[in-house]
Structure 1
Amino acid sequence: MPDGTTRFSYNGEPVYHYMGTSTFSEYTVCAEISLAKVNPQAPLDKVCLLGCGVTTGIGAVHNTAKVKAGDTVAVFWFRRYWAGGYSGRGSG
């Protein structure tokens, strides 16, 4: 949680959120700042990209690679498979 507390515990010990949301959990508790209201008419197979893929890409471009207007870049996309299933489900 943003205040450093947690809503999870295991054997009486605190378990902290992964990246503030614990989205790898079946159930979770999120801070209001971590949520976004999605229009019920929005196609979920497109909206799901905004949660991680787009924001990660923007961060990599602006903060890490420091790409500027006019720069030439190459973009590589790798699908990742996990033992639990395909992590890019719905992303085309």
Structure 2
Amino acid sequence: MSSLKELLAQRAALDEQISQTKDRERSDAIAKVKTLMSEYGLTLADLSTRAPRAVKVSKVAPKYRNQATGETWSGRGLQPKWLKAAIAGGAKLTDFAI
């Protein structure tokens, strides 16, 4: 069985090997990319990606208005509580049409 000192020394040696291998592979990758860039005539500007454009959400004009409070509803999605309550109270949807 290995002692703690031996295991720590092995870990230090492995960490050093990992660091050296990482640096070497990174250098190889950079050289490969530079070769491909020169071969195809690419620049750094060619590699940059554009940020995705924000999707504009267009507002829908309101179709119904509560005359008492000024609240509106476009007619899309769930009916608002004020409209449900009014309809339940006997009003018609067309009473609130703009």
TM-score by length of 2: 0.24
Larger radius of gyration: 2
Where is the strand percentage greater, Structure 1 or Structure 2?
1
Q: TM-score, normalised by structure 1?
A: 0.25
